[in-house]
Structure 1
Amino acid sequence: MRGYRTAALTLATATAATAVALGACGHDNPSRHGEIIVASATGNASMSAAITAPLSRVGSCIGLGESLVIWPEGTTWDASTATLTLADGDTVELGEELHTGGGSISPHLLAADSEELAQALTDCKAPPDQDVWVM
Structure 2
Amino acid sequence: MLERPMPVRHPRLAAANLLLLALVVACGEDDSADADPSSSGNGPVVAHRAEGDGSGDGALIEGSLAMSGGCLLVGDLPVVWPYGTTWDAEAQVVRLSDGEVVASGGRVSGGGGYHYLGDLAAEFAEPLADCPTNKYEEVAMFNAGEQITVTE
Aligned counterpart, 2:59: 49
2:137 partner amino acid: Q
- Deviation sequence 1:33-69 (CA, Å, 0-9, x none): 3211111135555111112211111432112111111
Structure with the higher fraction of residues in strand conformation: 1
TM-score (norm 2): 0.58
2:133 partner amino acid: P
TM-score (norm 1): 0.64
| Cα displacement (A) at 1:90 | 1.7
8 Å CA contact 1:58, 1:67 repeated in 2: no
| Identical aligned residues as a percent | 32
Aligned counterpart, 1:36: 45
Task: Check if 1:84 corresponds to 2:94.
Answer: yes
Which structure would you say has the larger Rg? 2
8 Å CA contact 2:80, 2:140 repeated in 1: yes
List 4+ stretches of structure 1 deviating above 4 A: 42-45
| Cα 1:134/1:100, change in 2 over 3 Å | same
Unaligned stretches of 5+ residues in structure 2: 1-35, 143-152
Instruction: Give the secondary-structure state (helix, strand or coil) at the position aligned to 1:40.
Output: coil
8 Å CA contact 1:84, 1:91 repeated in 2: yes
- Pairs aligned (count): 103
Aligned counterpart, 1:134: 141
> Following the alignment from structure 1 to structure 2, what is the Cα–Cα distance between the partners of residues 42 and 76?
14
